[in-house]
Structure 1
Amino acid sequence: MVDSTGVAKENPLLNTSLENRVVDSLKPFKRFKAEGVSAVVGEYVVLDSDIDKSYLEFQQNGVSTDDITRCELLGKLMEDKLYLHQAKIDSIMVTDAELNPQVDQLVQYMIGQLGSEEKVVDYYRKDNLLQLKEELRDAKRDLELANRMQARVVENVEVTPEEVRVFFFAIPEDERPVFSAEVEVAQIVVEPKITEASKQAVIDRLNEFRADIVENGASFATKAVLYSKDGAAGKGGLLPSMRRGDPYAKEFKDVAFSLLEGEVSEPFETEFGFHILKVDKIRGQEIDVRHIILFPELSESTINEAKERVEKIRTSIINDSISFGDAARLYSDELTTRNNGGQLTNPQTLDTRLDLTKMDPTLSAQVYNLKEGEVSKIFIDQDRTGKKTFKFLTVSKRYDEHPADFVKDYEKIKELALRQKQITTIEKWQDKHIKNTYVNVNEDYQDCDFASDWVKKIK
């Protein structure tokens, strides 16, 4: 097998035993070779097993492969190698610090699936976990380099208003897209206040754990399994390996990198809760950390106080004593939306329209039948840390499902026009660089009807 640079190396994402198990489920193709070379692009090689792996990834993600041919997958893999080849020429870089969190997350997922580090290493036929991580890092680096190269190709592509107009009116009227129903939604959030006594109770509990671990030799991992309140509890509190540039809370990193190997921290607070942590291993700039996280309990009195407060706010809005936007600015505890009158933003488009078919189900259920200006009932929301808040919503504006309208839907039509221009730009870029890059397609795939002209240059 070969690695991303064409040097002989085992494929880190598909070992031989796994490959053998999936071959029978894949589409037949003439003259199939278990580990044959399908194509070469520049200095990069595409193997038959890479095509098998692509099928497997689709299947694992629940995507039907019935209508996907080996030719299509090979074409996509060659496109990726072309981007990778040009990224190297253009000196595009991806650092280990950017990749390490992704690799660690993937390894932790593998451990969760197979049960232990030893089983993961054995399954992927590596000498140790570090070797597996290195090869996974190489594979992810190739993927990220290809993505960045493609992004560079289209980064300066723009569309003018005239191009948008021409694009839209070139579509036959009966073929124009139909846009789903959308809403603009605002919210008011009231959080029950956590008392100092509740905070101190959590700190005291964590100090008890720490004393038992430090003074009596109790197992940190066992304490985490029994008492920690996050998803890492099942792994004994073990988190993905950390570096200073990783996206952890600043307070968490400050404590973690101040400890010696085997040392257990004092209790400390982050925006997520209260923690103690233990450094299991220090490997240069990388450390393995376990933590226990607890959340302060809310008293019945603070919950009732918050409930009364949110009910008064809602009543004032319904009685027209105050507008929803002004009430949000004055009383909402949700900082990211409060200054905008509670207005929610679509995280994909960054505008205020939310597609009802793609919204969070909890949110959609609250606003689905609301009319414009109507206020929802109060409901309890809970985030991933278990923190509960009282919330109610209003629909600022509703857009029913409708055929595309050039004036009303200009921004969406502009996005479609831009996407089409980007596709055209990418096709032209590919045609140009295919001609200037060494490409060799195995004879088994010579008859493929590729979207790009991969075969022409060797005829």
Structure 2
Amino acid sequence: MLLKKLQLKTIDYKLVLTMCFLFFFNSIISAQEIIKDTVIQKPVQLTGQKQKIDGIIANVGDYIVLDSDIDKAYLEISAQGGSVKDITRCQMLGKLLEDKLYAHQAIQDSIVVSDAEIRGMMDDRLNYMIQQVGDINKVVAYYKKNSVEEFKTYFSDILKEQKLASEMTKKIVDAVEITPEEVRNFFKKIPKEELPTFGAEMEVAQIVVEPKVSAEDEQKVKDRLNAIRKDVLEGSSFATKAVLYSQDPGSSPNGGFYKMTRKTPFVKEFKDVAFSLGEGEVSEPFKTIFGYHIIIVEKIKGQEVELRHILISPTVSETALKDAKERIANIRTKIENKEITFAEAARTESDEKETRANGGTLINPNTQDTRFELTKMDPTLYSQVSNLKDNEISQPVLNTDDKGKKTYKLITITNRIDAHTADYAKDYTKIKELALKEKQITTISKWFDTKIKDTYIKIIGEYRDCNFVYNWLKK
């Protein structure tokens, strides 16, 4: 994970992407506090050695690191199943200092983390912890707090710091762009013997038929949402209603909370309604491809909106499912009889807007290209295509997505790519991703070099002998 390794003339390019993800997105839940510089006292001399006051070992801006933070970071990694045997205390302190500097600079850059976001994160983390140990009092005891409320106050500060660090990292990384010329130069400087190898891949196309929902069933959903809306307008908690009734698994545990801008990849209908509302306003029920929604806008900050929503999808009847299966079976028969090609059928018959224009070709959500590496393919998709031969069309497949929506599919493999050494022309998208990640690492490294110079940083005691990746000691 050490960035200096990536600044050497010889780079193991096969590891670049993995290292980037570890560096950018692995977070350590550590017990940390925020104090003002004036609280930190000078070390006192006892028997010829320096002693740390209250266990303070480092200060970054207004943030401090305690010696016990390192111990707790080790515990957190172990609790999550990670190995700590090769992580030194100096390396762990270096990671904590990085997180502190991210959070400190986020405040300087006026990055705001809302209380609603922290509450949502708190609910998620507490629910997970309670599932693991069975009792919130055990969680409180683990963190050595006297009550649930004391723990929540303490943990809220930790989560806020983590969120600030995450937003600062995202701001730095999102600003990095790469040109085709940079991609070409990146590939050229890779020694031939170090070119990465890409696993076997395939390209997949599908035709989707959605069961038709009756007007009566749609009206039932709208009536239910209108009743919820009425309760909210009369004083009920929208967040509580979202937890109880919303069918969106991504937001219902957080009370339906989302933070978004016009660039956030939500469907157009959702964004149109979200950005038409004022603060505190509750929308009428409206429809998207996922079902029916209502939205309440909690806060508008410039181009950003903080909102909550409730999603309810109409129930699909058995008759509608049967009709959809018959329809897709007829489409399959036409393709088998050469009356129409698979791609033509996808363009004219598929109900999936995202793929029908491309003849049903699926886009890999992880890479944004059309190839799926077999070893990294979604298990559900893999089970649907693994036994298909070239140009074979699957039987109608009943699919249920993570929101409970049921559809029928026909699936075919349109191309197979064997495992091979990286080729610039064939693998441009993957090579571009590797080049971008390397540039992001370099940008992060330069950012640290600059911000460390401009920030008050103090490291105390034996930790001044650490060999850090970054120049925390400003030597």
TM-score (norm 2): 0.68
Q: Which residue does 1:2 correspond to in 2? A: 33
Q: Which residue of 1 aligns with 2:209?
A: 190
2:121 matches 1:106: yes
Unaligned runs of at least 5 residues, structure 2: 1-31, 41-49
Confirm whether residue 297 of structure 1 aligns to residue 318 of structure 2.
no
- Displacement of 1:192 after TM fit? 0.6
Match of 2:346 among 328, 349, 363: 328
Structure 2 partner of 1:40: 59
What is the one-letter code of the residue matched to 1:94?
I
> Once superposed, what is the RMSD of the aligned Cα atoms?
4.8
Structure 1 residues 413 and 232: CA distance shift in structure 2, 3 A: closer
Q: Paired residue for 1:409?
A: 427
Residues 1:63 and 2:82 aligned together: yes
Paired residue for 2:380, among 348, 359, 362?
Answer: 362
Give per-residue Cα distances to partners, 1:209-239, cap 9 Å, x unaligned: 999x89xxx999999999875669998xx81
**Deviation of residue 419 (structure 1)?**
3.2
Aligned pairs for 1:330-349 (under 5 A) are: 330-349=348-367
Change (3 A) 1:272 1:60: farther
How far apart, CA to CA, are the structure 1 residues paired with 2:292 and 2:96? 46
* Residue in structure 1 matching 2:171, options 139, 142, 148: 148
Q: Distance in 1 between matches of 2:434 and 2:76?
A: 28
Give the superposition deviation at 1:202: 4.5
Say which of 102, 125, 131 aligns to 2:150: 125
* Distance change >3 Å, CA 443–CA 243, structure 1 → 2: closer
Q: Percent identity?
A: 43
Quick one: distance in 2 between partners of 1:435 and 1:111?
38
Give the C-alpha shift of residue 188 in structure 1. Answer: 0.7
| Pair 1:383 & 2:414 matched | no
Task: Name the counterpart of 2:109.
Answer: 92
> How far did residue 398 of structure 1 move?
1.3
Q: Is 1:160 aligned to residue 176 of structure 2? A: no
| Matched residue type, 2:70 | I
Cα distance change on mapping 1:33 and 1:192 into 2, 3 Å: farther
Give me the whole-angstrom Cα distance separating, in 2, the residues matched to 1:200 and 1:406: 54
Tell me: CA distance 1:395–1:93, structure 2 relative to 1, closer, same or farther (3 Å). farther
Deviation of residue 3 (structure 1)? 1.6
2:59 counterpart SS class: strand
- CA drift at 1:387: 1.5
**3-state DSSP class of the match of 1:125?**
helix
Cα deviation, residue 330, structure 1: 0.4
Q: Distance in 1 between matches of 2:99 and 2:247?
A: 41
After superposing the two structures, state which structure 1 stretch, 190-199 or 370-379, moved more.
Answer: 370-379
- Alignment map for 1:19-30 (pairs within 5 Å): none
Q: C-alpha separation between the residues in 1 aligned to 2:424 and 2:238?
A: 62
**Contact 2:221–2:313 (CA under 8 A) maintained in structure 1:** yes
TM-score w.r.t. length of structure 1 = 0.70
Q: Aligned in 2, Cα 1:255/1:331: closer, same or farther, shift over 3 Å?
A: farther
Distance change >3 Å, CA 352–CA 398, structure 1 → 2:
same
Report how many residues are paired.
411
C-alpha contact 2:449 2:471 (8 A) present in aligned 1: yes
- Tell me if structure 2 keeps the 8 A contact 1:274–1:294: yes
> How far apart in 2 are the matches of 1:133 and 1:71?
26
Unaligned 5+ segments in structure 1 are 10-30, 260-264
- Cα separation, 2, equivalents of 1:337 and 1:284: 34
Moved more, 389-398 or 193-202: 193-202
Quote the offset at 1:257 in angstroms: 3.7
> How far apart are residue 283 of structure 1 and its match?
11
Query: Given the alignment, which residue of 327, 330, 335 partners 1:309?
Result: 327
- SS state at 1:54 partner: helix
Match in the other structure for 1:239: 255
